[in-house]
Amino acid sequence: LLSIFTIFSRSISFRLAFTYMLTTFALLVVATFFLYWIFINRLQDDNRLFLQNKILILQKLLQEKMVSIRDEIIIEPPIDHYFSRVVDEKGKIVLETPGMNNLTPFSVFADIMPSGETTVKKHKRYYLLMNVPVDQSLSSHERPLFIQIAKDITVQHKVIEDSQESL
């Protein structure tokens, strides 16, 4: 066995084939981790952009005092697995998606700065949370209403965990 290895190690074709094999393996490893990184960032960005879009819609509806705000908060969210709540500066709930208080109570949002976000685990589910003032042009002392919004990201979190285990 040793004599076969020494014969092939002196052979230029063996050395070239071995070099190509190592180079190809290294490229595949780098490409795999790059695609994984893109996949994870894309999932997180899509969730963040989804909530930001919903926040913009709610801000517009609340600033224009439109009646359809009730439909936007109560009827639509269960379809897209997100929950929204409008609270005043004292924490009084003005309008809320039914069941939101059980899944993501008001206290969970207490640690989030205005215009901030975080991810929490509640009842074996993961949620991306955002807390945003309705009118961002006002100073922090003049903001009467805040939008608290949560998106269930358990499925995405499970996909990320599964892909990490398979690496």
Low-confidence ranges of the chain (pLDDT < 50): none
pLDDT tens across 116-158, in order? 788 888 888 898 999 888 876 655 555 578 888 999 888 888 8
Handedness of CA 35, 41, 45, 47 (dihedral sign): positive
The pLDDT of residue 26 is: 97
CB 116 within 8 A of CB 127: no
Could you tell me the pTM of the whole model?
0.70
